Amino acid sequence: MTAKREKQEEDVSSHRRSQHTLFDDRFSQMLPGDIWAHLAAQQIDPVLWATGGEFGYEDGFELFEDVGHLYELQLARLEFATIGDDKELFRRRAAYFKRVAGKLTDHVAFSSVKGKGQIGHSNQYLTHWFYPYKGKFHGQMVRALINFAGAREGDIVLDPFGGSGTTAVESALAGCDSVLVDINPALCTIAYIKHKCIFLPIDEVEQCVKLAYAPKYFQEFTSILGRKTKRFKIEGEHTSEQILSDFWEEFPSGIVKAMPYEVRNFLLLVFLHALSDKTYLCQTKKDKPLFEFFVQNLKDYIATIRGTNEVVRRCGIRRRKADVLCCSALNLPLEDGTVSCIVTSPPYSIAIDYVRNDLHMLEYLGVDASLLREHMVGLRGGGRKLVMYEDDMHRSLQEMARVVRDGGWVFIVLGDVVVNGKRTNFAQKILQWAPSVGFKEGFLIKRPILGGYARLRYEQIIFLRR
Ligand SMILES: C[S@@+](CC[C@H](N)C(=O)[O-])C[C@H]1O[C@@H](n2cnc3c(N)ncnc32)[C@H](O)[C@@H]1O
């Protein structure tokens, strides 16, 4: 590790522990209003607090108006602590700041390309909303963590439980390459396409895709609905390119298959999104024929690609590499110490059945759902699921410690779901295991889940330094 990086890490650690830290656990229980009241009572300006006392509103620094939760303020402070010295870099990469040194941040532009279900500036902007995967984490939070880790242009960010690809999108926005791993081949294809869509030229889409032909595209996609082939192997290691090439090889010839690779992948994602909408909205007031979901999503996706192109151009975001690999987080295909940082969200214990949630998509793409279940953390293990989950989490932590560089950060986002009537506390277990697998520092911050979903009260963001 270079002396500069070592110094930077020391600064960050002491920064975090300094006065008025708001990192005291009792503050995590507070609602946003109470936090602001507390800050006001102490005469602490939140912007000043987030910049470690260096800059306030009058210096041209401003947080987004929806930054209210304690964990958001904490993340704002952490991202500033590492890269705030270089104001222009910070302006381009900051996730929680609206203005830096009097100029609007690039996140203002990112979050202006609004996606379905977007909450403020936190999620679903740009291509994040493509495919409504139920276990997504927030893009804004992911980028703040990448910033705090000090990942620089060209560094590799890893997500070993990559899901629908939030980390790949945010790494690209931060100027980093990424490696995503997921055991589910269907999610690998989604993550891969979603990342590619950030850089998909709108001209190419508009040249190839005509709304007048939507019935024809739809007919070609639906022609393979219900076929029973189980074409994807779960064992071993496969790239997303291999998975997609198998899919397209068996796809019937027609106008979709004749399109350029990236455009037909884009259309596949639109179709999978429609399948998901149909599955989740049937028997609700929003239900409609699958074709109507397809056409609506097609129009909305095209609008997002147009907006994304414009923002990518305006903010000078360069095309970045994302390798999306279908294999297990328990056996990562990476050399020791090769990634700069890890941002990930593993399955939340055994309580969420990710396979059942995505059955429509797994069947369409020809993934053997029962075979997948046998390899999934949290779902495998039959009657010993919870014991197996604990073993798997320990194993995956060892793998993360092995592949991250010395001094690098690992961030694990984990929900405290209720299992058999008891709230799980795997975050604490991870903190306890951390020293024995090679981490030198560890702490966590809490993210409250509002909205009365009783099985989940908090997500914990676990910080571990190698
Ligand atoms: C909470 S989700 C991650 C969601 C992701 N952060 C996103 O924003 O879309 C957990 C993921 O872990 C994956 N997973 C489960 N077992 C795995 C294993 N053995 N190896 C790699 N990934 C696994 C699941 O397929 C699922 O996508």
What radius of gyration, in Å, describes the C-alpha atoms of the chain? 22
- Please say whether the dihedral angle defined by the alpha carbons of residues 73, 74, 75 and 77, taken in this order, is positive or negative: positive
SS3 assignment, position 386: helix
Average pLDDT over residues 352-356: 83
pLDDT for 1 equals 43
DSSP 171-197: HHHTT-EEEEEES-HHHHHHHHHHHHH
CA distance 99 to 62: 5
Phi then psi dihedrals of residue 361, to 5 deg:
-75, -40
The burial class, CB within 10 Å (0-12 / 13-18 / 19+), for 252 is exposed
The minimum-distance atom of ligand 1 relative to the CA of 344 is 6
The minimum-distance atom of ligand 1 relative to the CA of 166 is 8
Higher pLDDT, 25 or 66: 66
Is residue 37 over pLDDT 90? no
Under 8 Å between Cβ of 145 and 176: no
Is residue 101 over pLDDT 80? yes
pLDDT for 25 equals 60
- In this predicted model, what pLDDT tens digit does every residue of 379-419 receive, in sequence order? 888 888 889 999 999 999 999 999 999 999 999 999 888 87
CA distance 184 to 302: 27
pLDDT for 38 equals 73
Q: Is 52 in the pocket of ligand 1 (CB under 6 A)?
A: no
pLDDT for 395 equals 98
How far is residue 237 CA from its own chain's centroid?
A: 22
DSSP 96-137: SEEEETTEE-HHHHHTTS--TT--TTTSSTGGGGSS--TT--
Q: Is 135 in the pocket of ligand 1 (CB under 6 A)?
A: yes
- In this predicted model, what pLDDT tens digit does every residue of 231-287 receive, in sequence order? 777 778 999 999 999 999 999 999 999 999 999 999 999 999 999 999 988 888 989
The minimum-distance atom of ligand 1 relative to the CA of 375 is 19
CA distance 397 to 411: 11
pLDDT band at 451 (very low <50, low <70, confident <90, very high): low
Q: Is 137 in the pocket of ligand 1 (CB under 6 A)?
A: yes
pLDDT for 17 equals 44
Ligand 1: distance of its center to the CA of 346 in Å?
5
pLDDT band at 20 (very low <50, low <70, confident <90, very high): very low
The helix (run of H) or strand (run of E) holding residue 449 is: none
Percent of residues, the chain, with pLDDT higher than 70:
91
The minimum-distance atom of ligand 1 relative to the CA of 133 is 9
DSSP 276-288: HHHHHHTTSTT--
Question: Of the residues 169, 188, 332, 377, which should be mutated to test ligand 1's pocket, given the most ligand atoms within 8 Å of the CB?
Answer: 377
pLDDT band at 43 (very low <50, low <70, confident <90, very high): confident
- In this predicted model, what pLDDT tens digit does every residue of 191-242 receive, in sequence order? 999 999 999 999 999 999 999 999 999 999 999 998 877 777 777 899 999 9
Mean pLDDT is highest, among 24-28, 149-153, 357-361, for 149-153
Average pLDDT over residues 156-183: 98
Question: Of the residues 145, 159, 161, 399, which should be mutated to test ligand 1's pocket, given the most ligand atoms within 8 Å of the CB?
Answer: 161
The minimum-distance atom of ligand 1 relative to the CA of 160 is 21
| Residue whose token pair is 């399948």 | 275
Ligand 1: distance of its center to the CA of 182 in Å?
6
Is residue 455 over pLDDT 80? no
Average pLDDT over residues 86-109: 98
The minimum-distance atom of ligand 1 relative to the CA of 184 is 25
CA distance 305 to 73: 31
Q: Is 181 in the pocket of ligand 1 (CB under 6 A)?
A: yes
Ligand 1: distance of its center to the CA of 160 in Å?
8
- Nearest CA residue ID for atom 8, ligand 1: 136
Under 8 Å between Cβ of 200 and 305: yes
- Nearest CA residue ID for atom 13, ligand 1: 161
Is residue 136 over pLDDT 70? yes
Under 8 Å between Cβ of 386 and 419: yes
Helices marked H in 315-384: 354-357, 359-365, 369-375
Name residue 459's beta-bridge partners: 415, 447
Q: Is 349 in the pocket of ligand 1 (CB under 6 A)?
A: no
Structure tokens at 37: 């009241």
- In this predicted model, what pLDDT tens digit does every residue of 289-302 receive, in sequence order? 999 999 999 999 99
pLDDT for 420 equals 78
How many CB atoms within 10 Å of residue 164?
27
pLDDT for 16 equals 46
How many CB atoms within 10 Å of residue 69?
19
Ligand 1: distance of its center to the CA of 83 in Å?
29
Q: Is 182 in the pocket of ligand 1 (CB under 6 A)?
A: yes
Q: Is 377 in the pocket of ligand 1 (CB under 6 A)?
A: yes
Count of residues making up the chain: 466
Ligand 1: distance of its center to the CA of 369 in Å?
15
CA distance 26 to 39: 14
The minimum-distance atom of ligand 1 relative to the CA of 348 is 1
Is residue 54 over pLDDT 50? yes
- Nearest CA residue ID for atom 18, ligand 1: 328
Q: Is 141 in the pocket of ligand 1 (CB under 6 A)?
A: no
pLDDT for 452 equals 52
- Nearest CA residue ID for atom 7, ligand 1: 136
pLDDT band at 116 (very low <50, low <70, confident <90, very high): very high
pLDDT for 182 equals 97
pLDDT for 15 equals 46
Q: Is 342 in the pocket of ligand 1 (CB under 6 A)?
A: no
Ligand 1: distance of its center to the CA of 22 in Å?
31
CA distance 329 to 326: 9
Q: Is 149 in the pocket of ligand 1 (CB under 6 A)?
A: no
Q: Is 123 in the pocket of ligand 1 (CB under 6 A)?
A: no
Percent of residues, the chain, with pLDDT higher than 90:
71
The minimum-distance atom of ligand 1 relative to the CA of 328 is 20
- Global pTM? 0.93
Average pLDDT over residues 339-346: 98
Could you tell me the maximum CA-CA distance found in the chain, to the nearest angstrom?
68
Average pLDDT over residues 141-163: 97
How many CB atoms within 10 Å of residue 348?
22
Higher pLDDT, 305 or 281: 305
